[in-house]
């Protein structure tokens, strides 16, 4: 297998896909969030962080020079991945690699239906492989799933596919060859159909893949303690990586900032300055849920691509973990926890320096311990995003 560093000897300049932010609104007990989907970019000159592992190689962050006749679908190969994604709709997903054998990859996509009508998957699922740091599509695959998946409004469903990734024919590789060794972003796209026959596009991104000696692997591993504040915690954001996903379950949550704007505060002095956050927890279950909300909360700030900028964990800064708030949810109900979350408006990934001006998203992670009657179930919950803006160290909810 030819090493990617050799293949990129005549690399072009980096091509960073444009951010495509999405907005959100919550109605009733179901999240209805319209997301602009993008393929995340990785800063050049720094280690590429994927999932929870840091892999540094400046050669891997360079765009390959296109060959004279790239293979594959002409609308995909050589294009910026952000330019060939479906239009934003009410289906949004997270993909997890279940198994791989050489270039054959099996993925499980959890699709959330954030709209008002049921959606049934149709047609072809496309795998887009883009080189990290550029967004340029250098590999692809297409597969028609054996079965369709219907995702009722306000719920989630799974799409399981297996397909073999091939190179577009860039950077010295032949069209249809295995991908060269390197680190890539992997994005799945597909379509679904509403009851009225209208088409809904969906996009599902993974935490990335590594190719080594002709074998695809999900990029996972131990976090770097020099860049990750709490590497041994249950929910492990990683500075510079995609925000981790959580397993499918019947819970949902949202964040809200009751004040107008927020100034930086001492991360070790919660609720003195900073950003106080209301957390609403709800369920799509048709059965009541009784239990306890974890005293732990992790608040994560990402850019518009979902890359972690910084994060704050309550238990690291004084909150005890011996008693959680009671949860008593009726079927398809919700419960508000005022001021349950907090964010210091400083950058823990940069020694608590001020956060750079720009647009961001806040997420919160909590856990629900539910008494199901047949035993305890623990449901990790990642909130819907809260769009925020930082200007002159002042953070404001959009």
Residue 309 pLDDT class (50, 70, 90 cuts): very high
Q: Is the pTM of this model over 0.75?
A: no
Q: Is beta strand 91-101 parallel, antiparallel or unpaired with respect to 199-205?
A: parallel
Question: Is pLDDT at 383 greater than 80 in this prediction?
Answer: yes
Question: Is pLDDT at 174 greater than 90 in this prediction?
Answer: no
Question: Is pLDDT at 231 greater than 70 in this prediction?
Answer: no
**What is the structure's pLDDT at 118?**
93
Give the three-class secondary structure for 196. Answer: coil
User: What would the 3-class secondary structure string for 315-337 be?
Assistant: HHHCCCCCCCEEEEECCCCEEEE
In the block, residue with structure tokens 């992670």: 365
pLDDT per residue as tens digits for the range 269-284: 887 888 899 999 999 9
Which domains are seen in the chain, by residue range? 4-218 (no CATH), 251-397 (2.60.40.2360)
**What is the structure's pLDDT at 343?**
93
pLDDT per residue as tens digits for the range 205-216: 887 788 888 899
In the block, residue with structure tokens 């949202």: 254
What contacts 309, CB < 8 A, 6 or more positions away? 239, 301, 302, 303, 347, 349, 355, 360
DSSP β-bridge partners for residue 1: none
Average pLDDT over residues 83-102: 82
Backbone angles phi, psi at 349, to 5 degrees: -80, -5
Average pLDDT over residues 331-351: 91
Mean pLDDT for all residues in the chain: 74
Question: Is pLDDT at 95 greater than 90 in this prediction?
Answer: no
Q: How far is CA 187 from CA 59, 63, 123, 211, in A?
A: 22, 18, 17, 15
**What is the structure's pLDDT at 254?**
93
């Amino acid at each position: 297998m030819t090493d990617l560093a050799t293949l990129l000897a005549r690399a072009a300049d980096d091509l960073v896909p444009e951010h495509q932010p999405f907005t959100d609104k919550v109605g009733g007990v179901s999240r209805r969030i319209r997301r602009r989907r993008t393929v995340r970019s990785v800063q050049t000159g720094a280690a590429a962080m994927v999932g929870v592992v840091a892999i540094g190689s400046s050669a891997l962050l360079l765009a390959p020079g296109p060959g004279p006749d790239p293979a594959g679908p002409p609308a995909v190969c050589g294009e910026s991945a952000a330019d060939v994604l479906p239009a934003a709709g009410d289906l949004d997903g997270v993909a997890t690699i279940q198994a791989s054998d050489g270039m054959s990859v099996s993925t499980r996509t959890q699709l959330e239906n954030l709209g008002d009508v049921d959606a049934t998957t149709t047609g072809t699922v496309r795998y887009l492989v883009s080189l990290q740091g550029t967004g340029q599509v250098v590999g692809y695959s297409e597969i028609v799933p054996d079965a369709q998946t219907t995702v009722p409004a306000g719920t989630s469903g799974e799409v399981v596919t297996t397909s073999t990734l091939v190179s577009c024919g860039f950077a010295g590789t032949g069209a249809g060859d295995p991908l060269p060794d390197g680190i890539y972003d992997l994005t799945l796209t597909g379509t679904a159909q509403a009851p009225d026959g209208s088409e809904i596009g969906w996009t599902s991104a993974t935490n990335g893949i590594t190719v080594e000696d002709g074998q695809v692997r999900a990029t996972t591993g131990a976090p770097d303690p020099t860049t990750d504040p709490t590497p041994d915690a249950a929910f492990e954001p990683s500075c510079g990586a995609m925000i981790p996903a959580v397993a499918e379950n019947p819970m949902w949550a949202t964040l809200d900032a009751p004040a107008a704007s927020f100034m930086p505060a001492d991360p070790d002095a919660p609720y003195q300055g900073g950003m106080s956050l209301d957390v609403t927890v709800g369920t799509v279950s048709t059965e009541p849920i009784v239990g306890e909300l974890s005293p732990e909360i992790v608040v994560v700030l990402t850019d518009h691509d979902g890359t972690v900028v910084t994060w704050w964990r309550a238990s690291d800064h004084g909150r005890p973990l011996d008693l959680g708030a009671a949860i008593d949810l009726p079927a398809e109900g919700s419960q508000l926890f005022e001021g349950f979350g907090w964010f210091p408006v400083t950058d823990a990934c940069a020694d608590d320096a001020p956060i750079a001006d720009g647009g961001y998203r806040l997420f919160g992670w909590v856990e629900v311990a539910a008494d199901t009657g047949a035993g305890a179930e623990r449901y990790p919950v990642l909130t819907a995003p809260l769009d925020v803006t930082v200007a002159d160290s002042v953070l404001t909810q959009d």
